[in-house]
Chain A
Amino acid sequence: DADVTQTPRNRITKTGKRIMLECSQTKGHDRMYWYRQDPGLGLQLIYYSFDVKDINKGEISDGYSVSRQAQAKFSLSLESAIPNQTALYFCATGARANTGELFFGEGSRLTVL
């Protein structure tokens, strides 16, 4: 089983719908991140969390919200999806003892029609 699991792996939805992407990890890491990947833009940070009570906005948080339900779970929500949120979304984890290494899930591909 993967250490960082994202669900769903693929989702097609319509404009205005609420969408939740879920991430769970078995690595025991405190830090969790949500990134968005667009062609030609690399990865952009949406939100990050250093523990259950610590949530921080990244560079592109507008239109997104997150919930850290437990140390192992970090969900990303789009309250009202729009087409330019069509992208590949990655969850990542990192240890508190910072080495700079993040561990990524396999990604959730979201298409908003």
Chain B
Amino acid sequence: GNSVTQMEGPVTLSEEAFLTINCTYTATGYPSLFWYVQYPGEGLQLLLKATKADDKGSNKGFEATYRKETTSFHLEKGSVQVSDSAVYFCALSPKSFQKLVFGTGTRLLVSP
């Protein structure tokens, strides 16, 4: 079946620190991969995506590379800000796209 595993949080960082949130997946075939972000009191919104192996998704300084050989899609940012504090969800979609399968989410807390 399809599943997504994320590192548990919370991840606590100081402003300007480097961020990595690990995500690995299990899927049949070659799914599309996504990172969604949920700010406090809001719904989820798409942060970035990659649709095939070796693709790099990027947005707002965040990046993630689709690694087929390690079935991973780790989220990185070189210098986090307080405003990046949120819950980050890794997700996959089979190519047939019936639905998204989400990981459990990782809470990021950034202090000044």
Contact = CB atoms under 8 A, between A and B. Distances in A.
B37 to A, nearest CB: 11
Interface string A80-113: 0000000000101000001111111111000000
Interface residues of A, number: 24
A112 to B, nearest CB: 21
What band does the interface of chain B fall in when counting residues whose beta carbon is under 8 Å from A?
20 to 34
A106 B43 contact: yes
Interface in B6-48: 32, 34, 41-46
B89 A42 contact: yes
21 contacts: A33-B99, A35-B102, A41-B104, A42-B103, A43-B44, A45-B99, A45-B100, A48-B98, A90-B44, A92-B43, A98-B97, A100-B32, A100-B34, A100-B49, A100-B100, A103-B45, A106-B41, A106-B42, A106-B43, A107-B42, A107-B43
Interface of B: 32, 34, 41-46, 49, 51, 89, 93, 97-100, 102-105
